[in-house]
A and B are shown apart, each in its own frame.
Chain A
Amino acid sequence: MDFGFSPEQEMLRETARKFLAEESRSAFVREMMDSTAGITPELWQKMAELGWLGLIYPEEYGGAGGSFVDLTVILEEMGRVVFPGPYFSTLLLGGLAILEGGDGTQKKAWLPRIATGEARVTLAWTEPNGRWDAEGMTLTAKRDRDAFVLTGTKLFVPDAHTADALVVAARTGNGPEAGVSLFLLPRESPGVTVMLLPTMDHTRKLCEVTFSVTRVPADALLGEAGRGWRILQRVIDRATVGLCAEMCGGAQKVLEICTEYAKVRQAFGKPIGTYQAVKHKCADMLLLTENAKSITYYAAWAVSEDVPEDSLAASMAKAYASDAYRKVAQDGIQIHGGIGFTWDHDLHLYFKRAKSSEVTFGDANYHRERVAQLIHL
């Protein structure tokens, strides 16, 4: 047994930490919060050159052939700096959907271009009903001779406004799961309207995407008709684990910020870390963070190795990390007192990221119930 990262993965972590500390300082993150795009073309290009954009694609599609665990190493580092922009949506949602569900032609058309930084892709999945199950899929795709016509609205779609293509989950038939199909289409398709939504976490851009009689050719189908839910589940399980890795990185950074502050900030003539009310909070932050890492690393291994319990592992990680990151980020603000409540301090960026991550792909309550079902409770 060896439940740790390899020397190569530790090296990747070191490279990522250095790169992100340099390229994604607080001032940059704040600039991107105010921007529409959420990232600069220069930084996107640098990430392409590092091989990060095609990290997990096979070499035949211009990728680096890395494992999913490799990807979580980078994501954890990104979480440390509340990294903004469409890396997550392109790699873990749109890109992964094409990798998991696409045929040879679709993969050849998109994956190499994602890897070089030319194209960005996202996934339009959830709807105004806010449901995570197959029954919540109401956007219709009606067959019309050699085409499909998409009608409906998708909500909470990350980075749709800067994506070149969308993977859209739509209803092609009855039966909650058997009626779901995926489509891959250019964002510029006729009848597609994208609206950027004001969000609590400014580092994550979310959109409303409306399809009003959007006609796409039959070969826009990603995977077979009626098999979309299965692909979607695999993609969402993996994206969930990736998100957990980000959350672990964020929680770890908050813990470090707080520990440093508790050592230097004085009250009643002593550093506040001397007092048990603060010391014990820090100890609890460490406990939550380390446990979140353990279960997330296990889930990363599980999806990387495609073991049968990968969905269970993903849900366990998401349930734990959701509660842990929110609590750590909130306690972080509390430990800092007034300064922690200011706009200028970075803690609110972590807290808001914790909150947006918590509800993305289902919160802890949702995943606990899913765990209950998966263990046949």
Chain B
Amino acid sequence: MDFSLTAEQVQFRDEVRGWLRANVPPDWGSRPLFGPDSPVELHSFLRDWQRRLFGAGFLGLTWPKEYGGRDLSYMEELIFNEEMAEAKAPPILNLLGIYLAGPTIIAYGTDAQKQRLLSKILSGEEIWCQGYSEPNAGSDLASLQTRAVLDGDHSVVNRQKVWTSLAHVADWIMLLARTDPKAPRHQGITYFLVDMHSSGITVRPLRQLTGDAEFNEIFFDNVRVPAASILGGVGNGWQVGLTTLMYERMALGFGLQIRLRMALDHLIALARRNGGAAARNPIIRQKLAQLWIETEAFKYTGYRAITKLLRGELPGAEGSTGKIFWSETHQRLQALAMEIEGPYAQLTTGSRWAIEGGLWQHLFLRSLGNTIEGGTTEIQRNIVGERVLGLPKD
């Protein structure tokens, strides 16, 4: 066991840290919004921010050099994400492109697809979104009904996707659609890479219970998609889609633990307000200490998983519970903030009495989505039970 960095990794960390110190705008807020509610200037700012990160060589760290990456290990990816969190840097706009679409295209794409798409993912010239969920296909993703009919050298796509983050700014979508309604449900699905500017696509924002609109619904009305946009072959969409989900789970781990720790530090500061009555309350102390311990456990479980990757071994059981644990721990953290605020928990943005301008109320409500987005905790527990423990499927 060894928690130290190599000389090269220290140099890399210092390089990232120095660059961020010089380049993160000092007035950058702590509440980034990706949604349609957020101002247009924010998106052009974030596009520019990503272009600069790419120029500095910090994006696609684990990608092969031939696609604009640096061929580095997951350790550098971890260091970069920790430094980004620590510097409170603006987020990466094309997160889904870099961590989901890119690796999936590298794994399954044709040379033409790789040449056309990969470098613009890193530079931020083209933003990606993920078209998986539908109104009647959420946890049961394989029941999706978006239809793609093969018609010569094109496919024609119809119906609807939902809960799609970034769809309102995206240039491309990772789209799962049914190409063979007669085939067994996992086999009739094809993975398409679709230009969001195609005619027949309509994007409508959805308002969440926080009042914000982070995500959208997308309507496909006879959208013609060229055959060259099929990824991994007709009827292989389920397999390709699972690969994306695997990358999603992996990418999730990077930086999440340090963000959880920063949220906890912030919460402890909240408990110390007004002479620290909350921080002295034995029950609050128990809960804060438990969150501290869980945050550390989450970090070291992540380190064990990354060690497996660095050693070139297959991911083990330790990485499989990250999404469940993070989402539930984060919800407990936000619920404790409300408990500490007492009656002030009721006041939101706009009230001069609201603590920290109502920030905690927003974070608390937003955290309710954590156990739903990216696969509900119930589905995650099924996955852990079936794929890791080998329990029988229903």
Query: Residues of A at under 8 Å CB distance from B?
Result: 1-6, 69, 255, 259, 262-263, 270-271, 273-276, 278-280, 282-284, 286-287, 290-295, 297-298, 300-301, 304, 316, 319-320, 365, 368-369, 371-372, 375, 377
Residues on the A chain within 8 Å of B310, using CB: 1-2
A251–B3 alpha-carbon span in the complex (Å): 26
Q: Decide yes or no whether B321 CB sits under 8 A from chain A.
A: yes
The reply to whether B2 and A369 form a contact with Cβ atoms under 8 Å apart is no
Residues on the B chain within 8 Å of A294, using CB: 297, 300-301, 303-304, 318
Q: Decide yes or no whether B286 CB sits under 8 A from chain A.
A: yes
Kindly identify which residue among B285, B296, B318 contacts A290, using a CB–CB cutoff of 8 Å.
B318
Kindly identify which residue among B290, B306, B318, B393 contacts A1, using a CB–CB cutoff of 8 Å.
B306
The reply to whether B300 and A280 form a contact with Cβ atoms under 8 Å apart is no
Tell which of A6, A283, A286, A320 has the most Cβ of chain B within 10 Å: A283
Q: Decide yes or no whether B75 CB sits under 8 A from chain A.
A: yes
A181–B111 alpha-carbon span in the complex (Å): 74
The reply to whether A3 and B307 form a contact with Cβ atoms under 8 Å apart is yes
Main secondary structure of the interface of A (DSSP, over half): helix
Q: A283 and B384 in contact (CB under 8 A), knowing A2-B1, A369-B289?
A: yes
**In residues 239-282 of chain B, which contact A (Cβ within 8 Å)?**
268, 271, 279, 282
Residues on the A chain within 8 Å of B382, using CB: 276, 279-280, 283
Residues on the B chain within 8 Å of A270, using CB: 392, 394
Interface string of B363-391 (1 = CB under 8 A from A): 00000000000000010111011101111
The reply to whether B391 and A365 form a contact with Cβ atoms under 8 Å apart is no
Residues on the A chain within 8 Å of B324, using CB: 283, 287
Tell which of B1, B75, B290, B306 has the most Cβ of chain A within 10 Å: B1
Kindly identify which residue among A3, A304, A319 contacts B290, using a CB–CB cutoff of 8 Å.
A319
Residues on the B chain within 8 Å of A286, using CB: 317, 320-321, 384, 388-389
The reply to whether A365 and B378 form a contact with Cβ atoms under 8 Å apart is no
Kindly identify which residue among B290, B292, B318, B381 contacts A293, using a CB–CB cutoff of 8 Å.
B318
The reply to whether A287 and B289 form a contact with Cβ atoms under 8 Å apart is no
The reply to whether B285 and A372 form a contact with Cβ atoms under 8 Å apart is yes
The reply to whether A297 and B289 form a contact with Cβ atoms under 8 Å apart is no
Kindly identify which residue among B1, B271, B288 contacts A5, using a CB–CB cutoff of 8 Å.
B1
29 examples of A-B residue contacts, CB within 8 angstroms: A1-B3, A1-B75, A1-B307, A1-B310, A2-B311, A259-B389, A273-B391, A275-B394, A276-B381, A279-B386, A280-B382, A282-B389, A284-B381, A286-B320, A286-B321, A291-B294, A291-B321, A294-B297, A294-B304, A295-B297, A301-B1, A319-B289, A365-B286, A368-B286, A369-B286, A371-B292, A375-B289, A377-B279, A377-B285
A259–B290 alpha-carbon span in the complex (Å): 28
The reply to whether A69 and B1 form a contact with Cβ atoms under 8 Å apart is yes
Q: Decide yes or no whether B298 CB sits under 8 A from chain A.
A: yes
A203–B200 alpha-carbon span in the complex (Å): 71
Q: Which residue of A lies closest to B5 (CB)?
A: A1
Q: Decide yes or no whether B43 CB sits under 8 A from chain A.
A: no
Please provide the 3 A-B residue pairs with the shortest distance between their CB atoms, ordered closest to farther: A273-B391, A279-B385, A294-B300
The reply to whether B385 and A297 form a contact with Cβ atoms under 8 Å apart is no
Residues on the A chain within 8 Å of B228, using CB: none
Q: Decide yes or no whether B4 CB sits under 8 A from chain A.
A: yes
Kindly identify which residue among B1, B271, B298, B391 contacts A291, using a CB–CB cutoff of 8 Å.
B298
Q: Decide yes or no whether B308 CB sits under 8 A from chain A.
A: yes
A276–B380 alpha-carbon span in the complex (Å): 11
Q: Decide yes or no whether B107 CB sits under 8 A from chain A.
A: no
A262–B388 alpha-carbon span in the complex (Å): 14
The reply to whether A316 and B5 form a contact with Cβ atoms under 8 Å apart is no
A316–B384 alpha-carbon span in the complex (Å): 25
Residues on the B chain within 8 Å of A276, using CB: 378, 381-382, 394
For residue B332, give the distance in angstroms from its CB to the closest CB of chain A: 14
The reply to whether A259 and B391 form a contact with Cβ atoms under 8 Å apart is yes
A2–B292 alpha-carbon span in the complex (Å): 23
Q: Decide yes or no whether B325 CB sits under 8 A from chain A.
A: yes
Q: Decide yes or no whether B293 CB sits under 8 A from chain A.
A: yes
Residues on the A chain within 8 Å of B4, using CB: 1
Kindly identify which residue among A274, A300, A316, A375 contacts B394, using a CB–CB cutoff of 8 Å.
A274
For residue B304, give the distance in angstroms from its CB to the closest CB of chain A: 5
Q: Which residue of B lies closest to A364 (CB)?
A: B290
For residue B74, give the distance in angstroms from its CB to the closest CB of chain A: 10
A328–B46 alpha-carbon span in the complex (Å): 46
A319–B393 alpha-carbon span in the complex (Å): 34
The reply to whether A4 and B311 form a contact with Cβ atoms under 8 Å apart is yes
Residues on the A chain within 8 Å of B303, using CB: 1, 3, 294
The reply to whether B392 and A273 form a contact with Cβ atoms under 8 Å apart is yes
Kindly identify which residue among A274, A291, A304 contacts B297, using a CB–CB cutoff of 8 Å.
A291
For residue B100, give the distance in angstroms from its CB to the closest CB of chain A: 24
For the A-B complex with A259-B390, A282-B385, A368-B285 known, give 14 more contacts whose Cβ atoms are closer than 8 Å.
A1-B310, A255-B389, A262-B391, A271-B392, A274-B394, A275-B394, A276-B394, A279-B381, A283-B324, A286-B384, A297-B1, A320-B297, A372-B288, A375-B292
Kindly identify which residue among A279, A284, A290 contacts B391, using a CB–CB cutoff of 8 Å.
A279
Residues on the A chain within 8 Å of B282, using CB: 369
Q: A2 and B307 in contact (CB under 8 A), knowing A295-B296, A316-B293?
A: yes
Q: Which residue of A lies closest to B1 (CB)?
A: A301
Residues on the A chain within 8 Å of B3, using CB: 1, 3, 301
For residue A317, give the distance in angstroms from its CB to the closest CB of chain B: 9
The reply to whether B385 and A273 form a contact with Cβ atoms under 8 Å apart is yes
Interface string of B317-354 (1 = CB under 8 A from A): 11011001100000000000000000000000000000
The reply to whether A290 and B392 form a contact with Cβ atoms under 8 Å apart is no
